């Protein structure tokens, strides 16, 4: 069975979501490096990471609004599409 445009869009949204997750992880490492000697820089990195977490949340809301669910490409813990309230 071929992939539909909708499937491809869900896949792309999932990739974006996981790229944000990877960026957050990278920023956490940088935060720990800068925290001891440059707390002002660490605070900026923390703010950037917080903004990325907010972006992920908005991406989830976008998916629920667009498809009525969070696609399985955005979740690691389950195989089923889940509807959220």
Domain annotation covers residue 80: no
Task: Give the DSSP letter string of 33-71.
Answer: HHTTT-HHHHHHHHHHHHHHHHHHHHHHHHHHHHHSSB-
Q: What is the pTM of this model?
A: 0.78
Q: What is the domain count for the chain? A: 1
Output the pLDDT for position 71. 87
> Does 78 map to a domain?
no
Residue 23 inside a domain? The answer is: yes
pLDDT over 70 at 1, yes or no: no
Q: Please give the pLDDT value at position 30.
A: 96
pLDDT digits (tens, 9 = 90+) for 12-66: 999 999 999 999 999 999 999 999 999 999 999 999 999 999 999 999 999 999 9
**SS3 category, 82:** strand
Domain holding 16, by residue range, is 5-71
């Amino acid at each position: 069975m071929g992939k539909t445009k909708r499937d491809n869009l869900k896949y792309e949204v999932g990739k974006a979501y996981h790229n944000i997750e990877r960026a957050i992880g990278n920023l956490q490492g940088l935060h720990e490096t800068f925290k001891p000697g440059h707390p002002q820089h660490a605070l900026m990195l923390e703010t950037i990471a917080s903004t990325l977490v907010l972006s992920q949340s908005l991406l989830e809301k976008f998916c629920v609004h667009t498809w009525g669910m969070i696609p399985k490409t955005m979740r690691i813990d389950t195989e089923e599409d889940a509807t959220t309230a």
